[in-house]
Amino acid sequence: MPRDLVSGLFWLALALFAAAQGLALKLGSLNRPGPGFFPFWGGVVLGLLSIVLVVSSHRRGATGSSPLRPESAKPLVVVGALLGYLLLLETLGFVAVTFSFLLFLFRLERRGWAFSIVSAAAGAFVSYVLFQLWLKTQLPTGPLGF
């Protein structure tokens, strides 16, 4: 299936959703446009453009600049690690989560245990000093108080 067809249909669905939301929010009148005015017309414009893209997609074929299927599962694993970081951040605290996150990624890249542990610990410590102590960012603390 041509790439533009897939993405075009996706945006079309989003456009319909936006337009429907716009209608539900009330368009208002022209001399007093309501909150739904912009989302509705934004959705309409996006929808029309998507249709143009979908219709012209067969002509352009399935050529793209980069292969669609990732060569490795790494991006997926990293996406998971990022989500894990965010979900655990406020329960375990900044230092613990940061250490685990860095350790995980270094091991993912097949770095040795010694290198990974030392780098992760250094990374967690330096970023804590830099952001919490120096830049006064309010980073979440864990059960141990850091």
Partner 1 sequence: MEIFGGVLYGFQVALQPINLLYCFIGVFIGTLVGVLPGLGPAAAIAPLLPSTFAASPVAAIIMLAGIYYGAMYGGSTTSILVNIPGEAASVVTCLDGHAMARQGRAGAALGIAAFGSFIAGTLSVIALTFLAPFLARVTLRFGPPEYFALMTLGLTLLTFFARESTVKALMMAAVGLLCGTVGQDTISGRFRFAFGIRTLEDGLGLVPVIMGLFGISEVLLNLEQREQQREIFAPPTTALLPTREDWRASTVPILRGSVLGFFLGILPGAGAIIASFASYAVEKRASRHPERFGAGAIEGVAGPEAANNAAAGGAFIPLLTLGIPANAVMAILLGALMIHGLQPGPLLVKQAPDVFWGIITSMYIGNAMLLVLNLPLIPMWARLLRVPYTVMYPFILLFCLIGAYSVANSVGDGIVMWVFGIVGYLLKKFDYEGAPLILAMVIGPMMEEALRQSLILSAGSFEIFVSRPIAAGFLAAAVVLLVLPLVRRRSLPA
Residue 13 interacting with partner 1 (CB under 8 A): no
Residue 87 interacting with partner 1 (CB under 8 A): yes
Residue 58 interacting with partner 1 (CB under 8 A): no
Distances in Å between the alpha carbon of 90 and those of 84, 95, 97, 125?
11, 11, 9, 18
Q: How far is the CB of 113 from partner 1 (least distance, A)?
A: 15
Encoded one letter per residue, x for contact with partner 1 by CB under 8 A and - for no contact, window 110-139 reads: -x-------x---x---x---x---xxxxx
Whether 71 and 65 have beta carbons less than 8 Å apart is answered as no
Point out which residues pair with 33 in neighbouring strands.
28
Q: Output b/e per residue, 75-113; b: 16+ Cβ within 10 A.
A: eeeeeebeeebeebbeebbbbbbbbbbbbbbbeeeeeee
CB neighbours of residue 71 within 10 Å: 7
Residue 99 interacting with partner 1 (CB under 8 A): no
Task: Considering the complex, state which of residue 31 and residue 144 has its C-beta at the smaller distance from partner 1.
Answer: 31
Whether 13 and 37 have beta carbons less than 8 Å apart is answered as no
Which residues are near partner 1 by CB under 8 A? 3-4, 6-7, 11, 14-15, 18, 21, 25, 29-39, 42-43, 45-46, 49-50, 52-53, 56, 64-66, 68, 70-72, 74-75, 78-79, 82-83, 85-87, 89-90, 98, 101-102, 105-106, 109, 111, 119, 123, 127, 131, 135-140
